Amino acid sequence: MEQNFRYELVGAFGDPIDENPTGVMFEAAFEALGLKWRYLPIRVTADGLRDAVAGLRAFHFKGINCTIPHKVKVMDYLDSVADDAAIIGAVNTVRVSGGKLIGENTDGKGFLKSLKEDANVDPSGKHVVVLGAGGAARAITVELALAGAASILVVNRTTERGKQLVARLKEKTPTSAEFQPWTGTFAIPAGTDIVVNSTSIGLYPNVNDKADIDYDTITASMTVCDVIPNPPKTPFLAESAKRGATTLDGMGMLVNQGVVAFKHWTGQDPPADAMHAALAKVFG
Ligand code: NDP
């Protein structure tokens, strides 16, 4: 019988990369499906990115994740970029199709999948408040807008960043977008259906930090989501749950952005439960 000792390769380019746990969930999925694939976290500095992408082609990688500081710059070295990733202005996943490197952004898609499947909420026609205007907020708002959200209110501490995001949403998507500066305690407007914390507030090790909003303006009819995967039970979600809101944590988004990337790379649907369990173990 012919034997094959070669592995199909995917992984992540980043700097720093040592403490990035993403590979754990992909390796769990490869094992569960019996795939001869490996996910390699690779330290690539900013000045090495061009060569690293050339290496993807030379080593016949099936794809790669890009994290800090490569999500924007990598677009210069790809053959094409998916429409939504181009609007977001960042690529977190590269897939190979017909020998071409194609940039995708699975962060927002992962959020959307988690919203639809874990919280059972379709954003079409919904009124959304998003706290933050960084990379995660960009990905989430673009996908919500393309999925038919009726309105998106971006609330951000730094005015310039918030205004830029809203201008982009207005220009490139059909949604109605507005910006409000985050000064003092923010009251969630009545009639809001979905609230998303897409800031880094609450991320380990600052686990007691809580977004400065008036939690008494959260109601039971709202779905309240957090992007923070570690720890998944943030004070923001705990306060919202106390007011009866449906809550969705950032682990769902993290696993699902991996699920979308996995499908791009292998063509197969991975076992999301195994991926979630592997990550949960890492996060303790
Ligand atoms: P960025 O640095 O691009 O943006 C950070 C955002 O948080 C900005 O809007 C910033 O506001 C805001 N912010 C930070 N601290 C405060 C504060 N104390 N008060 C008010 N606003 C604050 O980061 P990313 O968007 O890339 O990441 C944000 C978070 O999302 C991270 O914690 C990351 O771990 C998480 N994430 C989760 C993913 C998942 O799959 N679950 C995927 C991607 C990211 P300002 O503009 O004023 O600085």
**Quick one: which atom of ligand 1 is closest to the CA of 111?**
40
Q: Is 71 a catalytic residue?
A: yes
- What residues are in contact with ligand 1 under a 6 Å CB criterion? 107, 110, 132-137, 156-158, 161, 182, 198-201, 203, 227-229, 250, 253-254, 257
Give the dihedral sign, CA 54/42/139/278.
Answer: positive
**pLDDT of the residue at 255:** 97
By alpha-carbon position, which residue is closest to atom 27 of ligand 1?
136
Structure confidence at residue 187 as a pLDDT band (50, 70, 90): very high
**pLDDT of the residue at 44:** 98
Q: Is 271 a residue whose pLDDT tops 90?
A: yes
Q: Which two tokens stand for residue 139?
A: 């990905």
The CB-side HSE value for 6 (13 A sphere, CA atoms) comes to: 6
By alpha-carbon position, which residue is closest to atom 31 of ligand 1?
200
Closest to 101 measured CA to CA, from 143, 52, 43? 52
| Catalytic one of 36, 62, 71, 116 | 71
Cβ atoms of 136 and 128 closer than 8 Å: no
> Can you give the residue ranges of every domain in the chain?
8-105+253-283, 108-248
**pLDDT of the residue at 2:** 83
**pLDDT of the residue at 33:** 98
The CA distance from 162 to 131, in Å, is 10
> What is the per-residue pLDDT across 22-64, written as a single tens digit (0 to 9) for each?
999 999 999 999 999 999 999 999 999 999 999 999 999 999 9
- What's the 228 CA to ligand 1 centre distance in angstroms? 9
Cβ atoms of 274 and 28 closer than 8 Å: yes
CATH number, span 8-105+253-283: 3.40.50.10860
Q: Is 221 a residue whose pLDDT tops 80?
A: yes
> What is the per-residue pLDDT across 62-111, written as a single tens digit (0 to 9) for each?
999 999 999 999 999 999 999 999 999 999 999 999 999 999 999 999 99
Report the mean per-residue pLDDT for the chain: 96
Read off the DSSP letter of residue 18.
Answer: T
- What's the 215 CA to ligand 1 centre distance in angstroms? 20
Domain 108-248, CATH 3.40.50.720 — does that match?
Answer: yes
- What's the 134 CA to ligand 1 centre distance in angstroms? 6
- What's the 196 CA to ligand 1 centre distance in angstroms? 11
**pLDDT average, residue stretch 162-171:** 97
**Quick one: which atom of ligand 1 is closest to the CA of 251?**
41
Name the packing angle between helices 135-146 and 159-172 (round to 10°).
30
**pLDDT average, residue stretch 210-229:** 97
Structure confidence at residue 166 as a pLDDT band (50, 70, 90): very high
Cβ of 118: how many Cβ atoms within 10 Å?
18
Does this model's pTM top 0.75? My answer is yes
Cβ atoms of 215 and 239 closer than 8 Å: yes
Cβ atoms of 188 and 213 closer than 8 Å: yes
> Which of 157, 183, 236, 257 to probe ligand 1 with, by most ligand atoms within 8 A of CB?
157
